[in-house]
Structure 1
Amino acid sequence: MTSPKTSADRLARLLNLVPYLLARPGIELTEAAADLGVSEKQLREDLELLWVCGLPGYGPGDLIDMSFDGDRVTITYDAGIDRPLRLTPDEATALVVALRMLAETPGVADRDAINRALAKIEQAAGEHDAPVAVRLPGNEDRLAELRAAVERGRALRLSYYSAARDVSSERVVDPMRLLSVSGRTYLEAWCRVAEGVRLFRADRIDVLTELDELAAPPPQAQANDIAEGVFQPDPQAPTMTLRVGRGGRWITEYYPCESVVEVSPQEWLVSLRVNDLDWARRLVLGLGPQVEVVAPESVAQAVRDSAAQALAAYA
């Protein structure tokens, strides 16, 4: 017997291990290891890892649990992993499309890992359909334009979509450098409208025009420190406090938070700084019943007004 050598192999084995053990309560470890084609030592290591896996919240009631009786093991809580991992044709196609799109995204570091995963899924799904071709429209061309402008040291006129304010605007910028962070490419530049250094996501630049004049960032234009992430909240920005249910707990992992306080196993008080209160309003509306605004009252009132307007539209 040989133990699988890659993280992907181990992940696949762990996903199938729980339903396997659920179907065989009290099975001896030596028998399970033989069935799974791993050593007993490897199986014990897998079980130790499963013990700290589970659902978001990661409290005692969220993690996979099991009991041991000598060398026999029984799963007592499966955290929803109650059947072997099998992809339907639709799921396999969706996964192939997503992976191909990721592979085509400029700035992705480990394309080899993506291609290996893609090959395994396509092999498992079979060769019944033609390969799925995915391209990100204009993305490579846009990046080539940005690289060329930065290398030539030219100023740029951008039409840029701001997701935080849900608006598009035009501005002239003096490029400083291109950054690739977490699979996304950003243009760091001095914005003449904002009079400050800003990061522009390449895929949100709608129109790009290279100007005849040279880029000339002023002396005070300093590159951002991205060691802690691309965007960091302004310490002077107002704080918003939300009462968040389990379904909205993901925001604590996606946005920088000032504090996260567990009120109960199903509820948290989350505080985060927001530079744009209109963005905060749209964030809360998008989370629906999973969140309640505790403070400030201005955001709570804006959410109530927007919800009332939406309901009135149905009448």
Structure 2
Amino acid sequence: MSSANTSADRLARLLNLVPYLLARPGIELVEAAGDLGVSERQLREDLELLWVCGLPGYGPGDLIDMSFDGDRVTITYDAGIDRPLRLTPDEATALVVALRMLAETPGVADRDAIHRALTKIEQAAGEIDAPVAVRLPGNDDRLADLRAALERGNALRLSYYSAARDVSSERVVDPMRLLSVSGRSYLEAWCRSAGAVRMFRVDRIDALTELDEPATPPAEAQSGDVAEGVFQPDPDSPTVTLRVGRGGRWITEYYPCESVVEVTPEEWLVSLRVNDLDWARRLVLGLGPQVVVVAPAELAEAVRDSALEALAAYA
């Protein structure tokens, strides 16, 4: 039943359900459930969802309607779902842009299917006046090289800039997948020097060399869940508490926070976990007078020492 409840499976089933029922008025629910490969309970839940689907306006005469006679169901109003879809020029353009963006997204498996659908829509939407060009942010050459290495299954040597430590390093990685999150492209790979799975932003890969050896991520190398963002704080990482002014509140939207408390209308008390206190030191220095370190004391001392060094350089 788990597969029947996935969003993709349910959407496909709902799209097929109306024409199926239209062709079989008065069909028994148990028979329909058997044909569709779901339980009778799941079919009833699908029918309840169909009742709130329909045309914009979503009032009487807009929504799909049906009647029940015991355990038999008949569609009485299909909301036009049996008619071929006619796209306006704006709708066709939006769909073309979305498909081209999907075709550019790293990690997409069946690009041929996307391109076939795109070709059909472009041929049908002759009203589109101007060509549409879509490119994901990042280095196109890098993405092409990474995609090719993934297809060949080879390991890579990367020269990579780490913003957290403000250093560049070389490392050998075993690529696992390419993905796009929040408009940025990433390589997920097993990093041999770290002995763990790491995410590498494609635009921070300064150079790469494909090695003449297969990529061999160990069994414990598991792809991470990026539904909540690429980088999630480690529960064992140290917590940093900052008193933030109005001009520094943007960090609460940019970084995952443990807590945000309004102390006064002008000041918030913000707690967040960091993997590297040196990164936190640079963050605080960059915010300047908009932030005061409350804890830990080690971070406060590091910020003070860096500020004193900077002042001494000007003396």
Gaps of 5+ in 2: 1-100, 107-134
1:219 corresponds to: 219
Answer with 1 or 2: which has the greater Rg: 2
Query: Any idea what the Cα deviations from partners look like across 1:235-289, whole Å, max 9, x if unmatched?
Result: 0001000000000001001000000000011100000001100000000000000
Deviations 1:26-49 (A, max 9, x none): xxxxxxxxxxxxxxxxxxxxxxxx
Aligned to 1:141: 141
AA at the equivalent of 1:173:
V
Which residue in the other structure is 2:272 paired with?
A: 272
The whole-number CA distance in structure 1 between the counterparts of 2:201 and 2:277 is: 21
Aligned residues, how many? 188
Q: Where do 5+ consecutive residues of structure 1 fail to align?
A: 1-102, 109-134
Q: CA distance change for structure 1 residues 171 and 303 in 2, over 3 Å: closer, same or farther?
A: same
Task: Provide the residue aligned with 2:205 in structure 1.
Answer: 205
TM-aligned CA distance change 1:302 to 1:215, over 3 Å: same
Q: Deviations over 1:48-86 (max 9, x none)?
A: xxxxxxxxxxxxxxxxxxxxxxxxxxxxxxxxxxxxxxx
Q: Take 1:196 and 1:242, find their aligned partners in 2: how far apart are those partners?
A: 30
Helix, strand or coil at the partner of 1:229: coil
Q: Which amino acid aligns with 1:205?
A: I
TM-score by structure 2 length?
Answer: 0.57
SS at match of 2:234: coil
Decide which moves more: 137-146 or 222-231.
137-146
> Whole-Å Cα distance in 2 between the matches of residues 107 and 216 of structure 1?
24
2:227 match: secondary structure: coil
Q: CA deviation at 1:298?
A: 0.5
What's the counterpart of residue 302 of structure 2?
302
Cα gap change, 1:137 to 1:244, in 2 (>3 Å): closer
Whether the 8 Å CA contact 2:285–2:303 is kept in 1: the answer is yes
Map 1:26-37 to 2 at 5 A: none
Q: Give the structure 2 partner of residue 42 of structure 1.
A: none
Letter in 2 for 1:293: V
Whether 2:197 is the aligned partner of 1:186: answer: no
**Conserved 8 A contact 1:107-1:184:** no
TM-score normalised to structure 1 length:
0.57
Residues 154 and 212 of structure 1 are in contact (CA less than 8 Å); yes or no, is this contact kept in structure 2?
Answer: yes
Matched, 1:234 2:238: no
Please show how residues 1-315 of structure 1 align to structure 2 within 5 Å.
Answer: 107=105, 139-315=139-315
Quote the Cα distance in structure 1 between the aligned partners of 2:275 and 2:201. 18
Question: Relative to structure 1, is the Cα distance of residues 285 and 138 closer, same or farther in structure 2, using a 3 angstrom cutoff?
Answer: closer
- Report the AA paired with residue 266 of structure 2: Q
Partners in 2 of 1:162 and 1:261 — Cα distance? 31
What is the SS of the residue equivalent to 2:218?
A: coil
Letter in 1 for 2:142: R
Runs of 4+ in 1 over 6 A off after TM superposition: 135-138
Aligned-pair identity (%): 82
Could you tell me which amino acid in structure 2 is paired with residue 290 of structure 1? Q
Contact 1:107 1:181 in 2 (8 A): no
Deviation at 1:227, TM superposition (A): 1.0
* Pair 270,172 (structure 1): closer, same or farther in 2 beyond 3 Å: same
Q: Distance in 2 between matches of 1:138 and 1:165?
A: 21
CA contact (8 A) 2:137 2:183 kept: no
How far does residue 139 in structure 1 lie from its aligned partner after superposition? 1.0
In 2: Cα distance, 1:137 partner to 1:227 partner: 20
Q: Deviations over 1:163-215 (max 9, x none)?
A: 00000011000000001111110000000000000000000001100000000
- Find the aligned partners of 1:252 and 1:141 in 2 and give their Cα distance: 34
SS of corresponding position for 1:217: coil
2-structure distance, mates of 1:230, 1:136: 17
DSSP-derived class of the 1:209 partner: strand
Alpha-carbon distance, 1:136 to partner: 10
